[in-house]
Amino acid sequence: MKLRVLGCSGGIGGNLHTTSFLLDHDVLIDAGTGLNELSLTELSVIDHIFVTHSHLDHIACIPLLLDSVGFMRERPITIYATEETLDILKQHIFNWKIWPDFSEIPNIQKPIMRYQTIALGEEIVLQGRKITAIPANHVVPAVGYHLDSGVASLLFSGDTTTNDALWDIANKIKNLRHIIIETAFSNSEIEMAILSKHLCPSLLAKELKKFKGDAQVYITHLKPGEVELIMREIDQIEQRLHPKMLLNNQIFTF
């Protein structure tokens, strides 16, 4: 399996893009503004989108993707998310007011998009690739994802704050090689982090103490303008796992 980082910022500006990862050539994990990194041809072969939650920075490009390549395809793009997240997308995005309902275009019998509910803990297998929804603790219903090739695996936290259930799972994964976890705020903004259910460096350090393994940790979702500060604060606090900043177009092979 190959995971390419299309976007990993908490915002936009310059060359910053919000959360989106391309798994091999045909699967997206979230679909923020990072999709702008892909050509029309690359976009046209995406068959599956796994959504962590309904916030705009993680779904912004789904409507535009469907409109751009839908009529170039022979089969629908499948949107995987929890029932709660799919309900939000149906009610507030694909409602004919914000955007057309592509689950009915060009017709219900042959739509451009289809929904598939994924339950917490459920494993979806796509050509031998295992994708499992794992717990996240956020202000809206949310999940992270565990991606497993069988040889090695990667865990993506999604947007989350303190999350014991995440580490209970991580500590049981024997082939875990990489962890991508968010840290959206600096320590001076801890009250905002708690209110919005994100992490700051001091909260991250407490979370990482719950992890008993030695996977490489990468930090995502840093707020623009605070990247250096947040990473400096992480470096000062976390001395065991030495987290690194996730980079746009970084590639993980596992």
Which pLDDT tens digits describe the chain residue by residue (254 residues)? 999 999 999 999 989 999 999 999 999 999 999 999 999 999 999 999 999 999 999 999 999 999 999 999 999 999 999 999 999 999 999 999 999 999 999 999 999 999 999 999 999 999 999 999 999 999 999 999 999 999 999 999 999 999 999 999 999 999 999 999 999 999 999 999 999 999 999 999 999 999 999 999 999 999 999 999 999 999 999 889 999 999 999 999 99
* pLDDT for the residue 238: 85
A 10 A CB-CB count for 251 gives 10
* pLDDT for the residue 1: 97
What are residue 76's phi and psi, to 5 degrees?
Answer: -70, 155
Q: Which residues of 168-191 are buried (b: 16+ CB within 10 A; e: fewer)?
A: ebbeebeebbbbbbbbbbbbebbe
Domains within the chain, CATH numbers bracketed: 2-251 (3.60.15.10)
Tell which residue, 19, 101, 99, has the closest CA to residue 59.
Answer: 19
CB–CB of 147/123 below 8 Å? no
Looking at residue 72, the DSSP 8-state letter turns out to be G
* pLDDT for the residue 239: 82
Query: The tokens 């982090």 sit on which residue?
Result: 193
CB–CB of 253/5 below 8 Å? no
Residue 139's SS3 state is coil
